[in-house]
Chain A
Amino acid sequence: MQAVADIQESTVAFKSVALSRNMAGPDNQHVTMRGFSANRRKNDEMKKMAEFIRAVADREDRDAFRQLFAFYAPRLKAFLIKNGATPGDAEEVMQEAMTLVWRKAKQFDPAKASASTWIYTIARNRRIDLIRRAKRPELDPEDPFFTSVSEQPDGEQEYSRTERETLVRKYLETLPADQLQVVQKAFYEEMTHQEIAAELDMPLGTVKSRIRIAMRRLRDQLDRAEL
């Protein structure tokens, strides 16, 4: 269990770089510096998470699963509550999502998604099923339809998925506060742009253009990082 304690400690140490920046305001010099070394540790930590998923897939490794659970379960629960779930519903969706992490572990492909992105998408879909009771059309990356119809290849990427996450984190640290706010509401609270506009008492067009600008800058930065 020592490893679990390490993981928990290391995340507390640099917790919430992107989130705390929002509170901190424009003075982000030290935050960026802190973010830099934190990113490295985070990167190593995420590689470990990917290995734990592989261990569950390859040999149903319960210790590895316990590590995944220790890291992700409390975060998923907080995330779901932030989305508006009651603590009871959040607990239920979290438990179902973690069960799916075990069951789907064999489908995890580090070349396609980082550990966190993969778990994020599982929990997101489970939330839609259970809380919104809505259907979510999903694409199945295993389907041959992809290769037969798709004329454009997936963007060639020199960096791994975990490295991309590091780049995304760095990018969020540099985002102006007004853009970071709408991006957080879009993802962390899973609000539609309409809902964000209503909550912030802002024209819908402003929310959309902030998202558009933020996403274009993010894509530009990732493209540059590729060169």
Chain B
Amino acid sequence: MITHHPSDEYLVEYAAGSLPEAESLVVASHLSMCGECRARVETFESIGAVLLEDGETEAVSANALDTVMGMIAATKPVEASRRIEFNQSTLRLIPPPLRAYLDADLDNLNWKRAGRGIQEASLKQDEGVRISLLRIRPDQKVPSHTHTGEEYTLILDGGYKDGFAHYAQGDVSHVDGSVDHAPVADPHGPCLCLTVRTGPAQLTGKIGRILNPFIRG
């Protein structure tokens, strides 16, 4: 049962096409797990549709329709599909929008130790935005930290507790810089999550930086 959804502001930006790639990845992956938010996005997209229908018109070039008919008649460009055949456990846990960011099955990703009981596989780093998968061992506490930017997390498997809130499969957490948090993974199995971080983290506890996955990069 999903209880933590992205807020309407993000769904609106996603529907309007202005949400940046990394955040869009979190939203799209959540959407493939959450019918409720899918329905919301469809509603918001229909705002775009209404504004399109009722909006102004701009004369198209004189031969536009012919050009388009020509493009339709032309042979379809072969889609560069470097599709990887993922194994069952990868397909079961990784939502479709996220698969394009994986170059191997889950177990064969370039996992790096990122602190006690925590592994990180970096999927993309670009202009200070980091997209990673994290695997946290059962009962493991992530060292207390704050962020200079934002942190978005989508739980793909297992769950964790953060303060009084519990996050399970499909839940999204959005933590902005000011919040000091120290999530603890559930006891019954490892926690797998997608995280997007937009700024370096700062340790607030006394634990060494090497233990903190959020400080790396």
A and B physically associate: yes
A residues with CB within 8 A of B: 11, 15-19, 42, 46, 62, 66, 69, 72-79, 81-82, 87, 90-91, 94-96, 98-99, 102-103, 112-114, 116-117, 119-121, 123-125, 127-128, 134-140, 143, 145-146, 148-155, 157, 161, 164-165, 168-169, 172, 183-184, 186-188, 190-193, 195, 208, 211-212, 215-216, 218-219, 222
Contact mask for chain B residues 12-52; partner A; CB cutoff 8 A; 1 contact, 0 none: 11011111110011001101111110111011111111111
Query: 6 additional contacts, CB 8 Å, given A91-B60, A161-B42?
Result: A75-B53, A91-B64, A140-B96, A149-B32, A155-B35, A192-B19
Q: Which partner residue on chain A sits nearest B20 by CB separation?
A: A134
What 4 A-B pairs come out closest when comparing CB atoms?
Answer: A74-B57, A116-B49, A155-B39, A78-B58
Q: Shortest distance in angstroms between B43's beta carbon and chain A's nearest beta carbon? A: 6
Q: Are A139 and B97 in contact (CB under 8 A)?
A: yes
Q: How far is the CA of A125 from the CA of B48 in the complex (A)?
A: 13
Q: Which residues 67-116 of B sit at the A interface, judged by CB distance below 8 A?
A: 67-69, 71-72, 76, 91-92, 95-98, 100
Chain B residues contacting A123 (CB-CB under 8 Å) are: 52
Say whether, besides A124-B17, A192-B13, A211-B12, A19 and B46 are in contact (CB < 8 Å).
no
Chain A residues contacting B169 (CB-CB under 8 Å) are: 149
Q: Are B2 and A152 in contact (CB under 8 A)?
A: yes
Q: Are A149 and B95 in contact (CB under 8 A)?
A: yes
Q: Which of A15, A18, A145, A192 has the most CB of B within 10 A?
A: A145
Q: How many A-B contacts at CB < 8 Å in the complex? A: 216
Q: Are A212 and B2 in contact (CB under 8 A)?
A: no
Chain B residues contacting A222 (CB-CB under 8 Å) are: 43
Chain B residues contacting A82 (CB-CB under 8 Å) are: 55-56
Q: Are A169 and B2 in contact (CB under 8 A)?
A: no
B residues with CB within 8 A of A: 1-2, 7-9, 11-13, 15-21, 24-25, 28-29, 31-36, 38-40, 42-61, 64-65, 67-69, 71-72, 76, 91-92, 95-98, 100, 169-170
Interface SS of A by simple majority: helix
Q: Are A137 and B24 in contact (CB under 8 A)?
A: yes
Contact of B8 among A19, A42, A117, A212 (CB under 8 A): A212
Q: How far is the CA of A16 from the CA of B54 in the complex (A)?
A: 4
Q: Shortest distance in angstroms between B82's beta carbon and chain A's nearest beta carbon? A: 14
Chain B residues contacting A188 (CB-CB under 8 Å) are: 48, 51, 55
Chain B residues contacting A137 (CB-CB under 8 Å) are: 21, 24-25, 28-29, 97-98, 100
Chain A residues contacting B67 (CB-CB under 8 Å) are: 95
Q: Shortest distance in angstroms between A136's beta carbon and chain B's nearest beta carbon? A: 6
Q: Which partner residue on chain A sits nearest B5 by CB separation?
A: A152
Q: Are A79 and B52 in contact (CB under 8 A)?
A: yes
Q: Are B54 and A17 in contact (CB under 8 A)?
A: yes
